[in-house]
Chains A and B, each alone.
Chain A
Amino acid sequence: MIIDFKHRQSSHCESGVISNMLFHYGMNISEALAFGIGSGIFFGYIPFIRLNHLPLTTFRSATGGIIKRVTNRLDIGIKTQKFRNPVAAMAALDRKLDQGIPVGCQTGGYWLPYFPQAFRFHFNMHNLVVYGKENNEYLISDPIFSDPVAISPTDLVKARFAKGALAPKGKMYYLTKVPDQADFSTAITKGIKEVCRTMLKTPLPILGVRGIRFLANQLEKWPKRLGEEKALLYLGQLIRMQEEIGTGGGGFRFIFAAFLQETADLLKNSRLNEISENVTEIGDRWRQFAVMGARNCKKRARDGDTYHAMSEILRDCSDREKKIFQELVETV
């Protein structure tokens, strides 16, 4: 069984999967639009959650949230299932494929053989679409790769039942209802309003624009508090999270800028174009931070590549983002 599913490469797995699945049912929604309607952009520096013994930093909202919000806000029917039994999980997948329904799966990236070795870490939030089965191999549209791939049932079972933090537990989902007409403008407004709220009004000082400032203040103290070597590991992890595959660059800031640009046309609001340009500049600032940090990690720091200078860039990002989201609240 092979479903005629159009694979379109995207930057982020979750927004890419939902964009491609909707496209399959005739709703043309770009990845950036899905990302924005799903309120994907975020910031959180969460030192008490550790990844490889290093603090967690996130540039996007919690996993699964984008799909949930997009389907909610566009009145799309989606059915999600989790399983205890791998055999039942694969049988359920096969049944849907036989009915000609493409199925999204949450997987552990470590077990996907088509991932280059250098990217094979244990992270369990990777989304992909299964769109067929041929010669006892599953056909996969993984949105962050340029072409569809095929993998063995053994590998897919392992990936669907990856263990550890945020274990997928065989989670799969498929669309049950896609309306012919969708009210994009209301959905967009809701998407923007929510990110403005989370970025500006979150009570916890480690989240949103205040979180960026908090990180800046912490980062400045890393070398003294942790020692030079450990500080570099913290810094490296931060840059990896900001720029790892799936962010579209600049910790999702560029994809958000692309969303605002598309939105400016859809809502016929030219002010959003200007804000989009400002967000692009913010993304560029984040990239400058990454370049400076990477030079430190490589022990090739130039004069001026100090922790103070890096934290100044982050404080600038925090100030700029605060201004942007305040303007956005008033614009939509």
Chain B
Amino acid sequence: MKKKDVPQDIGMTNGVLEIIYAVNNEGRYELIQSAGWEAKKVTLNQAWDVIIDEITGVIKKVKIGKLSPLAFHMAKNQMNISLLAKYVRMNRLRIKWHLKPEIFKKLKPSILEKYAVIFGISIDELFEVPESVEYDFKKE
């Protein structure tokens, strides 16, 4: 790739510049900062569409009382049961149990604390589920 062809398609990266190796007019390689590339933007968007679809589906189930708010935070943090189990050092079946709304409501603070810490939120926030998820980089 020629230095002049290094793409500078802004979007998604929030101003972060990455290094691309490209050839200058003398045919020598240089490290060039790039603001982004359309082809990457498209495929990254695609990956996020899948994640957002997943979260949106879970929100619906939480709102109709089929799943506990834990399911939402798990999806939002791109985790499945087995990954979350490793983070909070609990059995997978136990987490599955906590995905039931009536069980989750009655959990001890010490258990809730574990979840809150790993998601980086307060125990109160653990019970909050928005109507939809929005990401700033998706608006561009």
Chain A interface (Cβ within 8 Å of chain B)?
Answer: 9-11, 31-32, 52, 110, 116-119, 121-122, 144-146, 158, 163-164, 167, 232-233, 236-237, 239-240, 243-246, 248-250, 254-255, 257-258, 261-262, 277, 280, 283-284, 287, 290-291, 293-294, 297-298
Expressed in whole angstroms, the minimum distance between the Cβ of B72 and any Cβ of chain A is: 17
B121 interface contact, C-beta 8 A: no
Question: A residues within 8 A CB of B23?
Answer: 280
B90 interface contact, C-beta 8 A: no
B132 interface contact, C-beta 8 A: no
B97 interface contact, C-beta 8 A: no
Checking B21, B43, B44, B83 against A164 with a beta-carbon cut-off of 8 angstroms, the contacting residue is: B83
Whether B20 pairs with A254 at a CB distance below 8 angstroms is yes
Expressed in whole angstroms, the minimum distance between the Cβ of B19 and any Cβ of chain A is: 4
Q: How distant is the Cα of A201 from the Cα of B83 in the complex, in angstroms?
A: 36
Q: How distant is the Cα of A293 from the Cα of B87 in the complex, in angstroms?
A: 36
Question: B residues within 8 A CB of A116?
Answer: 12-14, 16, 137
Q: Which of B28-36, B57-65, B106-114, B122-130 is the interface stretch?
A: B28-36
Given A146-B33, A280-B1, A291 and B39 contact (CB-CB distance below 8 Å): yes
Q: How distant is the Cα of A130 from the Cα of B134 in the complex, in angstroms?
A: 33
Question: A residues within 8 A CB of B14?
Answer: 116-118
Q: How distant is the Cα of A9 from the Cα of B33 in the complex, in angstroms?
A: 9
Expressed in whole angstroms, the minimum distance between the Cβ of A98 and any Cβ of chain B is: 28
Residues of chain B at interface, number, CB under 8 A: 39
Q: How distant is the Cα of A202 from the Cα of B19 in the complex, in angstroms?
A: 31
Q: How distant is the Cα of A280 from the Cα of B28 in the complex, in angstroms?
A: 11
A-B contact pairs, 21 of them (CB 8 A): A116-B12, A117-B14, A117-B137, A118-B44, A118-B48, A119-B44, A122-B78, A145-B16, A146-B33, A164-B86, A233-B46, A239-B40, A239-B43, A240-B47, A249-B20, A254-B1, A254-B21, A257-B29, A262-B29, A283-B1, A294-B42
Expressed in whole angstroms, the minimum distance between the Cβ of B87 and any Cβ of chain A is: 5
Question: B residues within 8 A CB of A294?
Answer: 38-40, 42-43
Expressed in whole angstroms, the minimum distance between the Cβ of A12 and any Cβ of chain B is: 9
Q: How distant is the Cα of A206 from the Cα of B78 in the complex, in angstroms?
A: 29
Q: How distant is the Cα of A60 from the Cα of B65 in the complex, in angstroms?
A: 46
Expressed in whole angstroms, the minimum distance between the Cβ of B40 and any Cβ of chain A is: 5
Pick the most buried of A118, A145, A240, A283: most chain B CB atoms within 10 A of its CB. Answer: A118
